[in-house]
A and B are shown apart, each in its own frame.
Chain A
Amino acid sequence: MNSTGNSGRALPWALVTPALGWTLLFFVLPFVAMGFSSLTSHENGGFTLANYSQFFSNPSYWQAMVNSLQVTAIVTVVSVLLAYPFAWILAEQVPERWQRLALMLAVLPFWTSYVVRSYSWLLVLAQNGVINRALTGSGLISEPLQLANTRLATVTGFVHFFVMLLTLTIFANLKQLSPSYRKAAADLGAGPVRTFLHVILPLTLPGIMVGAFLTFVLCIGDYITPQILGGNNELLMPQLVMMQIGRRGDFPLASALSIILMAVVTIAYLACARWLKIERA
């Protein structure tokens, strides 16, 4: 009886051990090492809090965080606004037999390299790129617009990627909704708009939040897109982190900046989790 009880308790631990080991090895230990590094001096290796105080005392560093938050907020909101109707059309308007093909077409951009996609956008947005040529060719503008190497370019590159990600998340959420909700709403006299606003949208909000949080996390930590498309006309946090490593090899400061970035992501996660908890309650 006892041995059965012990083995019963041991089995879940045995099953969870690989995942725990993986997390410990590839997340907890590197994170502890990074935390330790962030508290050491680049000059002499001694203990210091200077790496953290630099972030708060240097307006350029602080500005990088502000830029990151602004860009991430814009990308998240625009991506949700574009992805929701797209997912809704896919789930509700496209016949079931075509949905698989439509989804495949939606994720087609994921099949190319992230770096290649970013450089492709540079070609599209450049002074001699597709958009400017079309606009000048049609006589709508006389001088090319500066589209590449701007925040707009960074946001465009991000949105292109995250709309697809959010579409998948929201689509899955919409497909899980029972048709009974609509029928019940209609039975109670609600029209399509009212049904959407008061029934469908609230029920899909958790899916939107999860997708938005995923967008937030991936966007705020991304180095490639702002580096290629932003033209370094403003720095975001990942660029600031990389800058500390390039020539000076200042890993302690880079670690401190990374931990601050991670703290912001954690706050966003807690806010998201709290909202979902309240929503469910």
Chain B
Amino acid sequence: MSIKSGNPLSVLKRQLHAACAATALLLAAGSLAEAADLNALIWCDHSDPALLQPFEAANNVKVNVKEFEGTGAGLAIVEQSQPGDWDVMVIDSIDVPRGVEKGLFEPLPEDKLPFADLFPQVKMDGSTVVGGKRYGITEKFGYNTIGFNKTKVDPADMQSLASLSSDKYKGKVAIYDYYLPVIGMAALAIGKKTADLGEADLPALKAELLKMKANAKLVGEVTASQTALATGEVDILVGGGEWVTAGLAKENPALDFSIPKEGAVLWSQSLAMFKDSKNKDMALKFIQYIMSPEGQARLATSSCYWGMPSNTKATLTDDQKKVLRFDEQPGFLARAQAYPAPNADLDKKMQDMWTEMLQAK
């Protein structure tokens, strides 16, 4: 032993063996760690530890999340990644076909997910089912409608979209900076159905948007518009809804939302599984967890923003249900219209129209 130890060649060999063993161990540990990871492309509501930790603890898995805003940005992240880097993705329900067209998503096993418990109106089969296969499941929804401070405006006025462009509220309005839902609201204001919008409707929609802009103090993304309403910078948020007011209900009970007589625009977000996921079993478990009554309650009341759970059996408390106006949903859903889902050409024209609105003085 001592002779072997003294031989430089033997020492080198032993060290090489040790190094190889250590490398092998590290690689094994690395692959084990990889096996115990779930990589999720998400919106900010999924990064709440209160949502993720119960799943991680129950399944001994680490959920690595990357937040993005906008389907284009999300799909760009996927395109710049290696196949298999991502396991699940949160996506606008109307954009599920975009992921399917790119060959990204795996069909979901309907029999293993609680479709029967979902609000029927939010299943969104028109976009989550492609070629007879279901690629997305709606996990959360809500309304782009009128968010307001009921101590500053007349709640009766908030029952009509016409109020948004009335002189009474000039300079007291913020507009949510996302063209599709607000164009949808403009469509409702002029008596058009969001599902029927075409190029011929653009001039009338533009005129309506410009009327709203003339009353607006700002056009802001999620945080800016939420802050403007919460701090009293504005009293009305066009495109706001429970996603703005519910999470702030404790601090600011004066914030509320209405579904005006013309209707509101229904937003919904879906979960999809990647076709190249190396961890499909865990990805499915994650989707099952998010869609479970407990997961749904946690997602609905996530710290980033609140929204309605698509599962009717979500274990929300009575107070949470009251804030989300859970029991009024059948009536709301009956009056809500889907997000405009334009084709690529019309989408581009709508975005350009939105740019014109933003540039208007």
Contacts and interface: CB of A to CB of B under 8 A. Distances in A.
Interface of A: 43, 58-61, 63-64, 67, 122, 126-128, 146, 148-149, 227-228, 231-235, 240, 243, 245-251
B217 interface: yes
Instruction: Classify the interface of chain B: helix, strand, loop or mixed.
Output: helix
B219 A246 contact: no
A157 to B, nearest CB: 14
A126 B227 CA distance: 11
B71 A240 contact: no
A139 B5 CA distance: 90
A164 B220 CA distance: 29
B358 A235 contact: yes
A254 to B, nearest CB: 10
Contact of B359 (A64, A149, A245, A247): A64
Contacts, number: 85
B218 A248 contact: no
B217 A249 contact: no
Contacts of B348: 248, 250
17 contacts: A60-B356, A60-B358, A60-B359, A61-B355, A67-B359, A122-B227, A128-B233, A148-B218, A231-B218, A232-B219, A233-B358, A245-B70, A246-B72, A248-B351, A249-B70, A249-B75, A250-B348
A146 B72 CA distance: 34
Nearest to A231: B218
A247 B224 contact: no
B352 A232 contact: no
Contacts of A148: 218, 233
Contacts of B178: 247
Interface residues of B, number: 33
Given A231-B218, A232-B220, A234-B358, A248 B232 contact: no
A270 B337 CA distance: 54
A148 B351 CA distance: 25
Contact of B72 (A59, A240, A250): A250
A246 B73 contact: yes
A234 B180 CA distance: 19
Contacts of B179: 247
A245 B68 CA distance: 12
Interface in B95-145: none
A231 B224 contact: yes
A151 to B, nearest CB: 11
For B180, B221, B224, B352, the residue with the greatest tally of chain A CB atoms inside 10 Å of its CB is B224
Contacts of A250: 72, 348
B200 interface: no
A55 to B, nearest CB: 12
B69 interface: yes
A73 B201 CA distance: 39
Interface string B49-78: 000000000000000000001111101100
A127 B355 CA distance: 26
Contacts of A146: 171, 217
Given A126-B233, A127-B232, A232-B218, 18 more contacts: A58-B355, A128-B233, A149-B233, A227-B221, A228-B224, A232-B177, A232-B358, A234-B358, A235-B358, A240-B355, A245-B70, A246-B70, A246-B73, A247-B70, A247-B72, A248-B72, A248-B348, A249-B70
